[in-house]
Amino acid sequence: MPLTPLTDELWHSIRREAQAASEEEPALASFYHATLLNHDSFASAMSFHLANKLDSQAVPAMMIREVFEAAMAESPEIESAMRADIYAHCERDPACEKYSTPFLFFKGFHALQSYRFAHHLWLKGRRGLALYLQNQISEAFGVDIHPGARIGSGIMIDHATGVVIGETAVIGNDVSMLHSVTLGGAGRLSGDRHPKVGRGVLISTGAKILGNIDIGDCAKIGAGSVVLHPVPPHTTVAGVPARVVGHPKGDVPARDMDQGLNGTDSD
């Protein structure tokens, strides 16, 4: 049964939070209304908020929003993934106490959702518009995700500045990564040349994973690592170049968000 405004619990929670916040902080009441309270659905508010961040002199926000609304109507999985990403933030990030916080304020979240639209356009062959969006996302948020990349749902990109994800990268569900992470290519070859990241993986700050290599489910990549070889599932790697240093303590490192290498990790 599809969500309706009446049965949409996430949207209701976000609105309730915004209503309360708007009463507490008059300086932002105008912002909460324009961005959330004035809209009658999650999709309407999301397309409005992102379009405002991605417009330019010659491509006005109105036009971008039109494209985003059409995409969400045509591909309902875009909105599903957005919702899963919000839940992921609130579950994994101690600094995220409300559903409205990533929606309104986290640029990693904004960059990822904007990519979802660019990816939709890429699949439909609208490459010029997808590249335009990639550039605007990179200017606005400092995050460069090629619209050809395939990214699952339940994703958190924390802090986000400097993240780069290449054209043939694949990222499974429930992955967490931090700022300055690179999923890059190795070589001028075209074709399949970027990492394949399994589900539940945690990629710590500044890690660089290069080339068409597999990162197994629930692996953990240490901060500042340079990963040039495949990583088995449930394995922790670290260093430049990265070597196996142990195994993540929890089942799903993406959920624990532990960038440290203590205990079982560094056995």
Q: Which of residues 82-121 bind a second copy (CB under 8 A)?
A: 92-95, 101, 104-107
| Number of CB atoms found within 10 A of residue 94's CB | 6
Q: How many residues bind a second copy (CB under 8 A)?
A: 98
CA 220 vs. chain centroid, Å, equals 18
Binding residue for a second copy, selected from 8, 10, 13, 29, defined by CB under 8 A: 29
Q: Which of residues 147-176 bind a second copy (CB under 8 A)?
A: 159-162, 164, 166-167
Helices (H) and strands (E) in the chain, counts: 9, 15
Q: Which stretch binds a second copy (CB under 8 A): 3-11, 78-86, 112-120, 220-228?
A: 220-228
Pairing assessment for the beta strands 208-210 and 226-227 based on DSSP bridges:
parallel
Binding residue for a second copy, selected from 198, 238, 247, 248, defined by CB under 8 A: 238
> Residue 72 CB, nearest distance to a second copy (Å)?
15
Binding residue for a second copy, selected from 141, 156, 219, 247, defined by CB under 8 A: 141
**In whole angstroms, what is the distance from residue 63 CA to residue 86 CA?**
26
Site string for a second copy, 64-83 (x = CB under 8 A): -xxx----------------
Q: Which stretch binds a second copy (CB under 8 A): 6-14, 71-79, 80-88, 258-266?
A: 258-266
For 95, the 3-state DSSP assignment is coil
Q: What element of type H or E holds 244?
A: strand 243-246
Q: How far is CA 75 from CA 43, 69, 208, in A?
A: 12, 10, 32
Does the protein bind a second copy through residue 13 (CB under 8 A)?
no
Tokens 């976000």 identify what position?
14
Of the pair 80, 139, the CB lying nearest a second copy is at 139
Q: Which of the 8 DSSP states describes residue 56?
A: B
Of the pair 84, 164, the CB lying nearest a second copy is at 164
